[in-house]
Amino acid sequence: MEVLTQNAKKVDTQLLMLTHLSQLTTYVTGFGGFVIPLIIWLTKKDEIADMDEHGKSIINFQITMLLSALLSIPLILAFGLGILTLIFIGVLSFVLPIINAVRASKGESPSLFCTIEFIK
């Protein structure tokens, strides 16, 4: 017989996966890739196991990509290298959420290698 305590959190790998994939709404709305995961994380972090870890990593990743894009704008004017960094940021912002969605569906931790940890 399984006994659940009040502090027990349910495991929902599908919601974790959808939270990672919701970052891709940036390509449709321009800002949804930050807002939607933030709302999901803030409302479900106490109810779903591992949501706090995944939510923090998503928000840290989105902030890092935004700052990187903002810092690459002056590089366009200075050296023209900013265009290459913007392309790199665009590819990372598309590929890493998909990779981490697959990892979340398997119950693994997110892997964001180029993320600055703003929220711990």
Residue 110 lies in a domain: no
Q: Which pLDDT score, from 0 to 100, does residue 4 have?
A: 45
Tokens of 52: 């706090």
Is the predicted pLDDT of residue 97 greater than 90, yes or no?
yes
33 in Cβ contact with 62 (< 8 Å): yes
Residue 112 lies in a domain: no
The number of distinct structural domains making up the chain is 1
Q: Is residue 97 part of a domain?
A: yes
Q: Domain of residue 27: give its range.
A: 13-105
pLDDT tens-place string over residues 41-86: 999 888 888 888 999 999 999 999 999 999 998 888 887 788 999 9
The tokens for 83 are: 């265009």
Q: Is residue 82 part of a domain?
A: yes
The CA distance from 64 to 59, in Å, is: 8
